[in-house]
Structure 1
Amino acid sequence: MRLRTVLATATAGLAAATCLTAAGPATANVNSVTNNACSPSVSIDRFSDALDKTTYDGTFVGNFSALALDKDGSLAALEDRSSLFGLDAKTLQPKSVVPLADENGAALDSEGLVIDLPHARTDSRGGTPIGTLLITSETEPSIRRYSRDGKILDRLPVPSSLLVAPAGRAVSNQTFEGLTLLPGGHTLLASMEYPIAGDTSGAVRFQTWTRTKGDHFRLAAQYAYKTDAAFLGVPEVQALPDGRLLVLERGYTSGVGNTVRLYLADPRHATDTSKIDTLTGQPGVRLIKKTLLADIADCPTLGATAKQPQPNPLLDNIEGMVITGREKGAYKVLLVSDDNQNAVQTTRFYYLRVRTTP
């Protein structure tokens, strides 16, 4: 989502919560993970500003809103101004760029990304599985399926209540931000960034779809997730192998900077809210359970600098997240910030290790 200046007034949001049931010279390299703890569950290995304010093939590199790991080990990086980059996973250097558009050729506000490989063929050389791309746009909102070269193949249904007003009850630029496939690949989940009109402050809807024949998706259950404060939204979700989720909460306070927190969330016993018109304190509504893993402001700075006020100079407008592997009982998680093509913001990659058990 593009930068918004939001003054943090969390008191009302917290009060409302009681209504619901509860790679180069620009890279910092650090050898010791133990000394880089952000919390008992999360540590940071390093960060990289190598792509900040660069271009590739005539296209600005930045505005990143989502990351995905491809089967060949490379990274896909989605920017919210209608381009999809292929990045080398080790160096982060761009290898390709594909323009994206809607059915009328107009640019997207592209935010969420899934590489879908349920029955993928490999390319003519027997290499990278072809698969397709599922990409959200905040504009309507929408989820479209694209070919690897950017052609639209399909479009998923969206509940009317989640459409931007006046068609629905969502607010423009506050809709589908996160996108992930749950284990097994049969269920797709998208997170709204902020509540829809009529819902309790901070109550964000997570919508799911179930895969059908021909790799189409039909609407399925919906769940409610509660952010810690009204000024915090959900920019990204990533599914873990056991069905739980890593969830980012993020906000911005003018003159202070960004708040970014990482949570472990479990939607498996939450109430299906798809038939609940407004989330305003109904008894028996079970929210998605969540546990704070780390406030990124508590990470060591690692020598990072900020171009504007921040609680920690390491922080920026973090918006994308992907799980890149597992090592010694911890998930390797890569985050990226959206610089909004703004001189006072930075395109920064963060290399975390995340433990989801005590």
Structure 2
Amino acid sequence: MKKLLAFSAALLSIGAVQAEALSLSYIGQQIVESGRSYAGTTVGGLSGIDYNAATGRYLAISDDRSSINPARFYELSLDISKFQRSATANSAGVSFNAVTTIVNIDGKPFAANQVDPESLRLDAARNRIYWSNEGQRAAAGFQDPTVRSMNLDGSYAGAFSIPERFKPSGSNSGLNAGDRGIYNNLAFESLTLSKDGKTLWTATENALSQDDLPATVGKGSNARLLSFDLSTGKAGAEYVYQVDAVALPPTPAGGFATNGLTELLALDDRQFIAIERSFSAGAVTPGTSPSGNPTGNTIRLYYVDARQATDVSGLDSLKGETFTAMSKELLLDLSSLKNDDGSALALDNIEGITLGPVIDGKQTLILVSDNNFGATQFTQFVALSIQAPVPEPESYALLLAGLGLLSLVARQQGMRAG
């Protein structure tokens, strides 16, 4: 009996039900051009997004390393009724309402290149925002990845304890014997809050140096999920997430290519939606960007489950160890989506996901892209809806209950905030 949505199964904690029946439908997209200004800042680099049901608005963090403007997050509104299944979608219905500077423990904005914000999640029950900082492993210096909390005004509220094995040491490349910690630009991209509000999760985009190599065209990479107890701030269980190989070879051969775990969305106890974003320079991907060129991006959504996975928090290195990784099932390859005229949906660098509002009885998912502040890239919002298949009669009541609980997840933060 596998006729329920994975979300319903996850929220009801029905272990026997799988993700096979989950179906996501394309509502439309809107595009904000690169170079857009708001309140004296350059809009871009939107790497994480979260919905606040109390206000009907969204929070989105920019991964500007305080090099263009100080590190910051935006509050914005999205009118999904104006989203278009069109390659020429515009920014109608996308409104930026506020921008907040993120400050360090000393109460001052971060200095240039001293932070790399990547994701955020609102905890309305505690009036906090959690956010991840990717860290750095480069000739310019090493910076530990961090997960911190801030008040709604951007002021410092605390930090979580990061295990030493995640902190970079050794060579700049991370490829030499004895190297440890994150690879450069492949660290804490993701962040998600558990449904019960007790656990915060982040993950490395690819493996740690001592665990595995980064993903290539022919090989994936063993990333780590890392949990934190919100009551203590201490790190807890870790699980292995097996990132796919790079989807397409770059053109010409030897060009830049990467695939990584860019975001997580918690559904229930150790069950998530994951975004994998693969990019290959020069690769011909479906659709063309507003500049008229393929984007080189392949974006896939997976249902992932750690309930049967091995807790590897006791292993400083995975090499030579036996463990069970998280299970994963493909939910949607966004390259398959079509606009109303039959054209393929061109995909920018999708890195953020959140449950949005319920519209016409259907739960929405909202995705956002990090345009890397590139002139030929674009800030893209994509709206999806969760479609339920016709269930078997004996499953119908359970399905409705599960969908009701799913809607509650999106509303719960707002209810507690009120």
Query: If the TM-score is normalised by the length of the shorter chain, which range does it land in?
Result: 0.7 to 0.9
1:342 has 2:374 as partner: yes
Equivalences for residues 59-78 of structure 1 within 5 A: 59-70=41-52, 71-78=54-61
1:352 equivalenced with 2:368 (yes/no): no
Give the unaligned 5+ runs of structure 1. 1-38, 120-130, 306-311
C-alpha contact (below 8 Å) 2:34/2:377 kept by paired residues = no
Q: CA deviation at 1:66?
A: 0.2
Query: Whole-Å Cα distance in 2 between the matches of residues 330 and 159 of structure 1?
Result: 40
Alignment of 1:289 onto 2:327: yes
Alpha-carbon deviations, 1:188-239, whole Å to 9, x = none?
Answer: 1001111111223410000001122xxx421110000001215320010001
Asked if the contact 1:67–1:77 (Cα under 8 Å) also holds between the matched residues in 2, the reply is: yes
Q: TM-score normalised to the size of structure 1?
A: 0.77
Q: Distance in 2 between matches of 1:294 and 1:278?
A: 32
Maintained 8 Å contact 2:277/2:297? yes
The reply on whether 1:160 has 2:164 as its aligned counterpart is: yes
Letter in 1 for 2:200: L
Aligned residues: percent identity? 29
User: Secondary structure at 2:378's aligned position in 1?
Assistant: coil
- Residue matched to 1:58: 40
Report the Cα distance in structure 1 between the residues aligned to 2:361 and 2:353, rounded to whole angstroms: 19
Deviation at 1:301, TM superposition (A): 3.8
1:228 and 2:230 correspond: no
Does the 8 Å contact 1:198/1:278 carry over to 2?
Answer: yes
The answer to whether the 8 A contact 1:51-1:62 is kept is: no
Structure 1 residue 44: deviation in Å? 0.8
User: 1:150-229 counterparts in 2 under 5 A?
Assistant: 150-166=154-170, 168-201=180-213, 202-212=221-231, 216-229=232-245
**Deviation string for 1:73-112 (max 9, x for gaps)?**
2100111011100001323201100112434632521001
Is the contact between residue 304 and residue 314 of structure 1 (CA under 8 Å) also seen in structure 2?
no
* Cross-structure match for 1:102: 104
Q: Does 1:146 align with 2:150?
A: yes
- State the match for 1:268 in structure 2: 307
Determine whether 1:244 maps to 2:271.
yes
Three-state SS of the structure 2 residue aligned to 1:154 is: strand
Residues 51 and 93 of structure 1 are in contact (CA less than 8 Å); yes or no, is this contact kept in structure 2?
no
- Flag the 1:319–1:304 CA change in 2: closer, same or farther, 3 A: farther
Quote the offset at 1:281 in angstroms. Answer: 5.1
Deviation at 1:288, TM superposition (A): 0.8
Question: How far apart, in 2, do the equivalents of 1:163 and 1:171 lie?
Answer: 10
Quick check: 1:160–1:168 contact (8 Å CA) kept in 2?
no
Matched, 1:43 2:43: no
- Matches of 1:106 and 1:164, distance apart in 2: 21
- Asked whether the 8 Å contact 2:104–2:155 carries over to 1, the reply is no
Q: CA deviation at 1:51?
A: 5.5
Equivalent residue number for residue 137 of structure 1: 133
User: What 5-or-longer segments of structure 2 have no aligned partner?
Assistant: 1-20, 65-70, 80-92, 136-143, 171-178, 214-220, 247-257, 284-295, 392-418
- 1:57 and 1:76 map into 2 onto residues whose CA distance is 16
Q: How far is 1:315 from its partner?
A: 0.9
Contact 2:188 2:202 in 1 (8 A): yes
Instruction: Write the distance in 2 (CA, Å) between the matches of 1:341 and 1:170.
Output: 24
* Deviating 4+ runs (over 6 angstroms): none
Secondary structure in 2 matching 1:49: strand
Per the alignment, do residues 303 and 163 of structure 1 end up closer, same or farther by CA in structure 2, a change over 3 Å counting? farther
TM-score by length of 2: 0.67
